[in-house]
A and B are shown apart, each in its own frame.
Chain A
C-alpha cells in the first residue's frame, strides 16, 4: 500500500500547481462546511443560553413584527416601539401574573458610529427579583473613593462586592400650572412659538368675520395625550378633587389664588354655584364622558371645533404638546408658573455596568463615566426663499433633522458579575432616570413577566389582547422568541447550506476534472503499467488513491482554515448578523470534535465519490489502445 501511496503522491507532485489549486478548492469547500456546521451548533447553544438567562418567561411589548420583537426581546435593538407606564399597572391586575418588571431599553449610538451603548432603565427591586442572575460582582478590585482626610479622590484596593446597585430615588415630573387651575405633568423638552386663533374681526371689505391669529410663546412638554373627536364624546366636564377624596363635577374656574368656583346643576336641573378654598382642593382635572360609556380623566390641553386634545391621561402614548403662554398662570412678576424638575448639574445619575462594559471602558466603582454619543435632533432653520410670483424674498422656517453629538455623564456605582450574556455589555440605570434623560417620558420597551403557571400562558395572552384599553400590545413568550429566531436563522441557514452544497459540488467536479485530465495525460503510462502486469483493479486503486489524497489534504487544509480562522469567521458572522438584528452574546461558532472529524471524513468521501469515475475510466482503458493510442 505504501508503494501505491508513494506512486500516487509522486503523480500529484508532477503537476504541483494544479494539485495545489485542486486541494485549495476542496479546502475552501471544507472550510465553509466546517464553519457552517460550527455556526449551526454554536448558535443554538448561545441562543439557548441567552433565552434561559432572561429570567422571565413572557415579555409584553408594543405590537410589531415578530422578528423585530424577537430582536427587541433578546438584544433590545431594532426599531423600538413603546408601551406606556400605565400598562404595568393594568397587567399587574391579571391573576396569573406572579412577578413583573418594566424596562426601557435605549441604545445610544457611539460617537464614531461604531455600535451602541445599550442602556436599560429598570426598576431595581422587581428586576433583580425576576433576574437573580444579574448581580453585583464580588472580587478584589480598586474603587475610587473620596479620602475623608485630604478630600481628594483616591483609588483603594478592596476585596468584596464591586459596589452596589443604584439608590432608588424619586424623579419628579415637570409641571406647568394653568390659569384654570389644572396642572399639566410631563417632561419639558423645550420652548417654542405657537400661532393660535385669538379672536374674530369683521373684515371691512368683504363684510365677513375672519379669524385673527396671534403668536404665543409656548412650552413644549412631553406627556401621554390623546385626541378625541367630539362625536365620540358625550360630555366634557371639570372634576375637582378635595383633599378628603370627594369629587365634585361641573364647570370649574379659578377665581383667584385662594378660591375655585364650580357651576353645576342639581337633580332638578337648577343651576348651582359653589366655591372652594384652594387649601381644601387636591387637584383639578377634566373628564370626558365617552359615548361608549368610558371615561377619560386628564387635562384638556386644547379644544377646537371638532376635537379635544387631552393630556395626562392613562394608556396614551407620550407626545410632545405645546402649551401656549396665554393659558399658563403667571406670578406677580409676570413669569410663567412652570416647575422644571430637571436634575441639577451636580447630581450625576448612578449607573451599574456590566462586566464587559467595565473592562472595555476601563471603569471602576466610584469613577465618573462620560459617554459621547450621536443623536438625531430636530432643529429649526431659517431659509431665505424668493417667491416665484412676487419676486420678493421671503424668510421661511424649516425643521430639519440632523445628528448632534451629546455627552452623558454617569457615576459608576456597581459592576455586575460576568454572565456571558448581553448584560455584560449593558448599562443599568433607574427607569425614571432613563425615561427622563432619554426623553422617553412614561415609555417602556417591554415588561418582563413571570406567570404563576406557564401552562396558562394562552389564557393570559388572550386576556391581554381582549383588554382594549391596553392598546397595541403583544405578548411574546421567550420560548416563542427562541422559535422565531431559530426559524429566521433556519431560513438563512438553508440558503447558506445550499451555497456550501454548491461549493462541495463544484469541488467535486473540480477534483474529478483534475484527475480525469491527469488520467488522459497519462494514457500511455497507464497502458504500460497494464502491459507490465497492472490489472484493472491496480489502476483503479492507484487513481482512486490519488483523488482521495487530494481530498484528504483539502480536508485537512479546510479544517485548519476553519478552526484557526474561527475567530475571524465568528467576527464576520457576528458583523453580518448584527446588521440584521440580534446576535446571541456567547460564542456563536462552536467546533465540536464530531464536526471536525465528520468534515474530514466528508472530504475523504468526496474523494471516494469524485475518484470513482476517473478511476473507472483509467481502469477500463485497453492496454493496447492506451499504448498505441497516440501513435
Chain B
C-alpha cells in the first residue's frame, strides 16, 4: 500500500531580515509516499535545506499546508512540532552531531531519554550491530572515524522507530568510499524497513541512486531539465 506520508501545498518559508524579506521557499508542493527514497537537489541557496527542515518539523512554516502522516502541522508551534518530530522523524546531519561525552551506545539511547520511553539497551545494540558497529559500542565519538560516527548517528535516528528518515548531506563530510557505504546503508534500510527516506545531497551520483529526485531552484520545484545542475 502506497500511503502518502508527507504532503505539502504552497509551502512557503520567508525569513524576515533587516534588508527585507527573503523567501527561502516560495510555494512548494510535494507528495512523498511511504517507503519512497527521495533525493532533494539543487544549487546552494535553492532552499533544499529549508525544505528538509520544514518537512522535519524543525522550523515553523510561514504559509501553505503540510501534512505529516496525515496530520496537518502548518499551524503548529515549536512545542507541538517536537512531539510530531519525536514520534515520526529521524534526522541525520552532515556533521553527525554526536554528543562528545557519551559513548556510541549512550548516543544511540539518548532519544529515548527525551521520549520518556523505557530504556531499551538491546535495541540500541541491535541497531549498532545493524549499522556494522558491534565492536565499537563503548567508544566515545572522538575515537570513531567519520563514517563510523555517521553510522552511530543513523542508529540514533532509528532508535525511536520513525517512519521517516531525513538526511541533510549525510555524506558531505565523508570520502567517496565511505559515502558509498553510507548511501548503500540508507538504501538498505529503506528497502528492508520500508523506511521513507528524504536526502538532501549535492552528489549527483548518489542522487541517482534515489527513487526520485526533486530539483529546487530559488525556493521552487523545477523540472529536471531546467535545473542548473544539468548545465
Contact = CB atoms under 8 A, between A and B. Distances in A.
B93 A535 contact: no
A535 B97 contact: no
Q: Which of B49, B86, B90, B114 has the most CB of A within 10 A?
A: B114
A41 interface: no
A627 B91 CA distance: 12
B85 interface: yes
Size bracket of the A interface = 20 to 34
A523 to B, nearest CB: 11
B59 interface: yes
Interface string B19-60: 000000000000000000000000000000100010010110
A534 B83 CA distance: 9
A563 B62 CA distance: 60
Contact of B111 (A527, A533, A622): A533
Interface string B52-87: 010010110000000000000000001100110110
A532 interface: yes
A128 interface: no
A45 interface: no
B100 A532 contact: no
Interface centre among B83, B93, B157 (most CB of A within 10 A): B93
B189 interface: no
A7 interface: yes
Interface in A284-307: none
B222 interface: no
A11 B110 CA distance: 14
Nearest to A538: B114
Q: Looking at chain B, what size class is its interface with the partner chain? A: 20 to 34
A185 interface: no
A7 B113 contact: yes
Given A4-B113, A7-B102, A624-B59, A535 B82 contact: yes
A536 B86 CA distance: 13
Given A532-B156, A533-B86, A534-B82, A627 B97 contact: yes
B67 to A, nearest CB: 20
Interface in A494-539: 524-525, 527-536, 538
B101 interface: yes
A525 B102 contact: no
Given A14-B101, A524-B97, A525-B97, A534 B53 contact: no
A623 B93 CA distance: 13
B171 interface: no
B97 A536 contact: no
A10 interface: yes
Nearest to B83: A535
Interface in A1-48: 3-4, 7, 10-11, 13-14
B91 A531 contact: yes
Interface string B88-108: 001101010101111000000
Interface in B133-164: 156-157, 160
A4 B110 CA distance: 10
Contact of A623 (B58, B90, B111): B58
Contact of B114 (A524, A527, A533, A622): A533
Given A4-B113, A533-B160, A538-B114, A528 B82 contact: no
A10 B101 contact: yes
A203 B111 CA distance: 121
A11 B101 CA distance: 7
Contacts of B126: none
Contacts of A532: 90-91, 110-111, 114, 156-157, 160
Contacts of B102: 7, 10
Contacts of B193: none
Contact of A14 (B53, B85, B100): B100
B58 A3 contact: no
A628 interface: yes
A564 to B, nearest CB: 32
B114 A529 contact: yes
Given A533-B86, A536-B78, A622 B101 contact: no
Contacts of A534: 82, 114
A622 B53 CA distance: 12
A467 to B, nearest CB: 83
A4 to B, nearest CB: 7
Contacts of B59: 622-624
Contacts of A531: 56, 58, 85, 91, 93, 97
B115 interface: yes
Interface centre among B82, B83, B111 (most CB of A within 10 A): B82
Contacts of A623: 58-59, 78
Given A530-B82, A623-B58, A535 B114 contact: yes
Q: Which residue of A527, A529, A535 has the most chain B CB atoms within 10 A of its CB atom?
A: A535
Contacts of A533: 82, 85-86, 111, 114-115, 160
Contacts of B79: 535-536
Nearest to A525: B99
Nearest to B96: A528
Interface of B: 49, 53, 56, 58-59, 78-79, 82-83, 85-86, 90-91, 93, 95, 97, 99-102, 110-111, 113-115, 156-157, 160
26 contacts: A10-B101, A10-B102, A13-B101, A14-B100, A14-B101, A524-B97, A528-B99, A529-B114, A531-B56, A531-B93, A531-B97, A532-B90, A532-B157, A533-B82, A533-B85, A533-B111, A534-B82, A535-B79, A535-B82, A535-B83, A536-B78, A622-B78, A624-B53, A624-B58, A627-B93, A627-B97
Given A4-B113, A532-B91, A627-B97, 20 more contacts: A7-B113, A525-B97, A528-B91, A529-B114, A531-B85, A531-B93, A532-B90, A532-B110, A532-B156, A533-B82, A533-B111, A533-B115, A533-B160, A534-B82, A535-B79, A535-B114, A536-B82, A538-B113, A538-B114, A623-B78
**Across chains A and B, which 6 residue pairs bring their CB atoms closest together, nearest first?**
A533-B86, A10-B101, A528-B97, A534-B114, A533-B114, A624-B59
